[in-house]
């Protein structure tokens, strides 16, 4: 899991945290990638478009994957206000709604964005909403992480942003573990890592991507016949073993090309191809553009608002 998340180049923004009493509701816009948060104290409703309202209680943690617009509220009937202007008024990492009270809600939230070129490795596997209750197997540990994160948001000690970033990413990993354990449905590589045999093969591929893996060799590592391994792998991961291998290699290649740290021939060797031409053919088939064109596009600075517009 660590190598996949590292490839996503996660960027974390934590807070501002929310403290609220009385009737309130905030409407959040759709967001790419992941939002994550938990209730340090109190209770509130999470209302996600297309889903039934969910009551979150103290100690519960939630994760939203590529979420559509949603509302956090004191009750399902509260009239929501746009969240952005309210959050813009944060002071010392907090937004307060209503008077200060010992009984106020305390909600810690953050969002995690990934490099667009490989974000689908994770976001395609996530449902719009994952909730881990405090009483669940992973729940108490997640609640403790949220408590730590909330404490860091509330102080101005040296290194605070670094600590927040790492805590949020640890929280993400534990949420992914909890999600993988919550469902019997196929969850791609995330769920397959927990499967005997299939998980062993996945970890072997990730550990040595340049190796010339064959279906026979991967099946032997998994202590299965080739046919049984191929069927089990596709059932759990969603694609055939060698197709997964190619796509994982191309994910690593996209990352290396975007960072512009290796030549194309070096990337070819690092991802298991004997020649630059063989690598380029595979890259174009999977990604849709030649490696050189992909690298050149990655070098271009993003367009600024207003570029090309007539005043």
pLDDT at 109: 84
pLDDT at 309: 33
**Domain shared by 46 and 160, yes or no:** yes
Q: Which of 182, 210, 239 is the last residue of a domain?
A: 182
pLDDT at 308: 38
Range of the domain at 67: 2-182
**What distance in Å separates the CA atoms of residue 22 and residue 287, rounded to the nearest whole number?**
51
Q: Which of 139, 155, 182 is the last residue of a domain?
A: 182
Q: Are 72 and 17 in contact (CB under 8 A)?
A: no
**Domain shared by 239 and 284, yes or no:** yes
**Domain shared by 120 and 241, yes or no:** no
pLDDT at 150: 82
**Domain shared by 178 and 196, yes or no:** no
| Residue 306 within a domain | no
Question: For residue 101, what are its two tokens?
Answer: 């009270």
Q: How many structural domains are present in the chain?
A: 2
| Residue 307 within a domain | no
pLDDT at 73: 94
Tell me which residue of 104, 29, 109, 39 sits closest to 71, measured CA to CA: 29
Query: For position 31, which CATH number holds?
Result: 2.60.120.280
Q: Which of 135, 154, 182 is the last residue of a domain?
A: 182
Sequential pLDDT tens for the chain (311 residues): 566 666 677 777 777 889 999 999 999 988 788 888 899 999 999 998 888 899 999 999 998 888 888 999 999 999 999 998 998 888 877 889 988 877 788 888 888 877 776 677 676 667 788 899 998 888 888 898 888 888 877 666 677 778 887 888 888 888 887 877 665 554 555 656 556 678 888 888 888 889 999 999 999 988 999 999 999 888 878 789 899 899 889 988 988 898 888 899 999 999 999 999 999 999 999 999 999 999 988 776 544 434 333 32
Q: Return phi, psi of residue 284, to 5°.
A: -65, -35
| Residue 97 within a domain | yes
| Residue 224 within a domain | yes
**Domain shared by 38 and 116, yes or no:** yes
| Residue 308 within a domain | no
**Domain shared by 137 and 207, yes or no:** no
**Domain shared by 132 and 206, yes or no:** no
**Domain shared by 99 and 235, yes or no:** no
CA torsion 37→119→307→257, rounded to 10°?
140
| Residue 304 within a domain | no
pLDDT at 7: 64
**What distance in Å separates the CA atoms of residue 199 and residue 201, rounded to the nearest whole number?**
5
Query: For position 242, which CATH number holds?
Result: 1.10.10.60
pLDDT at 157: 67
**What distance in Å separates the CA atoms of residue 280 and residue 202, rounded to the nearest whole number?**
24
**Domain shared by 247 and 156, yes or no:** no
């Amino acid at each position: 899991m660590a190598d996949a998340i590292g490839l996503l180049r996660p960027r974390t923004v934590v807070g501002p945290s929310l403290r609220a009493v009385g009737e309130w509701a905030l409407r959040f816009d759709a967001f790419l990638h992941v939002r994550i948060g938990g209730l340090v104290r109190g209770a509130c409703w999470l209302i996600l478009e297309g889903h039934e309202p969910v009551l979150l209680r103290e100690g519960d943690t939630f994760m939203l994957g590529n979420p559509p617009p949603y509302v956090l509220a004191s009750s399902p009937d509260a009239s929501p206000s746009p969240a952005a202007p309210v959050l813009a008024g944060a002071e010392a990492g907090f937004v307060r709604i209503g008077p200060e009270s010992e009984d106020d809600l305390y909600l810690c939230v953050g969002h995690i964005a990934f490099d667009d070129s490989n974000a689908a490795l994770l976001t395609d596997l996530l449902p719009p909403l994952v909730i881990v209750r405090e009483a669940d197997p992973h729940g108490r540990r997640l609640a403790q992480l949220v408590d730590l994160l909330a404490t860091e948001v509330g102080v101005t000690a040296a290194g605070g942003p670094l600590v927040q970033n790492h805590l949020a990413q640890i929280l993400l990993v534990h949420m992914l573990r909890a999600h993988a354990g919550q469902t019997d449905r196929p969850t791609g590589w995330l769920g397959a890592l927990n499967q005997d045999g299939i998980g062993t093969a996945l970890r072997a591929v990730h550990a040595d991507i340049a190796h010339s893996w064959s279906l026979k060799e991967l099946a032997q590592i998994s202590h299965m016949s080739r046919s049984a391994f191929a069927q089990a792998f596709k059932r759990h991961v969603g694609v055939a073993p060698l197709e997964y291998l190619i796509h994982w290699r191309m994910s690593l290649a996209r990352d290396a090309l975007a960072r512009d740290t290796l030549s194309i021939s070096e990337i070819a060797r690092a991802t298991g191809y004997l020649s630059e031409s063989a690598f380029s053919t595979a890259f174009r088939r999977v990604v849709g553009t030649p490696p050189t064109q992909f690298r050149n596009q990655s070098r271009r600075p993003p367009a600024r608002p207003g570029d090309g517009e007539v005043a």
